Amino acid sequence: MRGIITVVGKDMVGILAKVSGVCAENSVNVIEVSQSILQDMFCMIMLVDFEKCTVAFTEFSDKVTSIGDEMALSIHVMHEDIFNSMHRI
C-alpha cells in the first residue's frame, strides 16, 4: 500500500531529515517529495510505499506524528486511497 505524509508548520532546520529518517529506519520507501514554503509556513507532501515496512502501519503513523509533537508541526500519515477516492472519479 502507498501512503501520503503531510507536514505543515513553521520552517526549521531538519524537518525533511527527521521525517525521511523515520521512513528509512522502518524500510518505508519515499517515492516522491514535494515541498513549498508559503510565507514562513513549511509545507511538505511525501508519497511513500509501505510494501516493505517493518512495523504495523499504525505504529509507523504514531512514530511520525510524535516527531510532529516534538517539533510543533502538524504531521499526518494517511492511506493514499482517501485522496484518490475523494478527488478522482
Partner 1 sequence: MINTHDILETINMIQEENLDIRTITMGISLLDCIDSNIDNACSKVYDKICFKAESLVKTGEEIEKEYGIPIINKRISVTPISMISAASKGDPIKFAKILDKAAKEVGVNFLGGYSALVQKGFAAGDVELIKSIPQALAETERICSSVNIGSTKTGINMDAVKLMGEIVRESAMLTKDNGLVGPSKLVIFCNAVEDNPFMAGAFHGAGEPDCVINVGVSGPGVVRAAISKIPDADITEIADTVKRTAFKITRVGQLVATEASRRLNVPFGIVDLSLAPTPAIGDSVAHILEEMGLEQCGACGTTACLALLNDAVKKGGVMASSHVGGLSGAFIPVSEDAGMIDAARSDTLCIEKLEAMTAVCSVGLDMIAIPGDTPAEVISAIIADEAAIGMVNSKTTAVRVIPAIGKKDGEEIEFGGLFGVSPIMKVNTASPAKFINRGGRIPAPLQSLKN
Residue from 16, 22, 43, 71 touching partner 1 (CB under 8 A): that is: 43
57: contact with partner 1 by CB under 8 A: yes
86: contact with partner 1 by CB under 8 A: yes
Residue from 16, 22, 47, 71 touching partner 1 (CB under 8 A): that is: 47
CA dist 85 and 62 (Å) reads 24
Please spell the DSSP secondary structure of 14-83, one letter per residue: THHHHHHHHHHHTTPEEEEEEEEEETTEEEEEEEEE-TT-SS-HHHHHHHHHHHHHHHTEEEEEEEHHHH
88: contact with partner 1 by CB under 8 A: yes
Length of the chain: 89
Q: Least distance in Å: CB of 60 to partner 1?
A: 10
Q: Which residues bind partner 1 (CB under 8 A)?
A: 4, 6, 8, 31-32, 34, 36, 43, 45, 47, 57-58, 61, 74, 76-88
